[in-house]
Amino acid sequence: MACRDESLYPLPYDDRTSGHYLRIYKQTSAVLDFDDLANSAFEVVFESVDENGGADLQEVEFYATHRSGATGLITDEVLVKTVSASAMGLANVPAPTYSEYLRSAPVRVTVTEITTALATLTTDPDGIPLVDCTNLYPDVCPAVAYPGSLAVADQILLRWRVRLTDGREFTIANQQTVTSPSLGNPEEANMTPNITAGQFYNAPYVVTLTVRRTTTTGTVASYTGDYRMAQVAIWSPNHSTVLHELIPNELVKPFLFGSSPTDSTQTVTLAAVAGGLPSEREFTCTYRGETITLRINLESGPNPGLSTASLTTLTGLGMAGAANANLGTVFVPLINSGVECTSTRELYMVTPLAGAFAGNTTLRFGLPRSTFPNRGYYRFDQDGLTPGQVFSISIDDDVDEYGRRNGYCTWYRTVYLTLTKI
């Protein structure tokens, strides 16, 4: 037997009050479609994390800042809206998946809500005359009034502040703290980099949304209709070519995506998502012998800087001209496929990390014989409506419920798919 003198404890651990963080479980898109701003938005699924399973959350405030794509100058920050915990639809996670914390329904902050709030910023917010900022330290420039509308390449910096039922608040420093200190909020910033940047926590409290065009044609219904989808490669980016040569056949075949275990192709029909974002497309397909729905985002942007070998591979797959800076990325938000691998777990997919896997011509069929990029790409100078046009989707298969590449059931692998318009 033994006893302890708790008066000697340096801190009152038994009486401590825990903190809180708001984890991003899934973010739908990082792009606002310039050709359909009225239906564009920031959409995210949150998970509320605290000692009471997430129940301490009272509300979340969203603040917006406009950054010009042409000059880099920013506005003051403005409150867009406040969303109560009850309006977020926080609920327990249904089986067979599992979480100790309450998870929200999709929370959406629309471009209309953002620009309406920004439109109130009509005067010089800090009283500092606008000067040439070319030779100054990056971002150290006076703030400016909102120009009145969004342009391609503009950015929206969306920050949120969490308020708990006991009145405590959690957030980070806003951009104005650096550019125009008089407009900053350093006193209220209380989140550490471990929380905001750590993969486990995934609670950044700010996102950058870029105004882009899904296609340069401006066609809202682009990349829809019937496509022939083919699984062209599967591999684990964490392993060498030598290890790939030793992969058991059962991990290469049958195909994860295909009309049958021995056929890597199938016909799918892409459509815009009803009530979704303009950049979203969805289709049903056969995956591991079952029918599932896949949802992707077309996120255009500048040339992603792919290697010559990766660009050569894309050209060989039918994406001729891919090196001409007209590549956009195909983003796959975290997906629960609904296909069970055990009685308590289902298979999840997510967008792969950046980079490429170096192929080897000696690898057997089903493994990458070319240098495939880890991301999917499409041509945003095309509309995806002309037969023969091609784009690709890359998926990390068998990630865990939070998109971490731990391999829930077998062995986390990247699957590369090509889709050819029929």
Does the pTM of the predicted model rise above 0.75?
yes
pLDDT tens-digit map of 295-341: 999 998 877 788 888 888 898 888 887 777 889 999 999 999 999 88
Name the residue among 380, 296, 287 with its Cα closest to residue 332: 296
Provide the 3-class DSSP secondary structure of residue 215: coil
Tokens encoding 192? 């550490």
- Side chain identity at residue 136, one-letter code: L
pLDDT tens-digit map of 3-46: 766 666 666 555 667 889 999 999 999 999 999 999 999 999 99
Name the residue among 363, 365, 366 with its Cα closest to residue 413: 366
Tokens encoding 256? 């994860």
Beta-carbon contacts of 419 under 8 Å, excluding residues fewer than 6 positions away, are 227, 228, 229, 230, 268, 270, 390, 391, 392, 393
> Where in the chain are the domains?
17-212, 225-421
Name the residue among 158, 159, 170 with its Cα closest to residue 57: 170
Output the pLDDT for position 135: 56
pLDDT tens-digit map of 143-199: 899 999 999 999 999 999 999 999 999 999 999 998 888 899 999 999 999 999 888
CA gap 44, 26 in Å, rounded = 6
CA–CA distance from 192 to each of 24, 48, 125, 134, 202 (Å)?
16, 17, 28, 32, 12
Length in residues, the chain: 422
Instruction: Please give the helix or strand (H or E) that residue 233 lies within, else none.
Output: strand 225-235
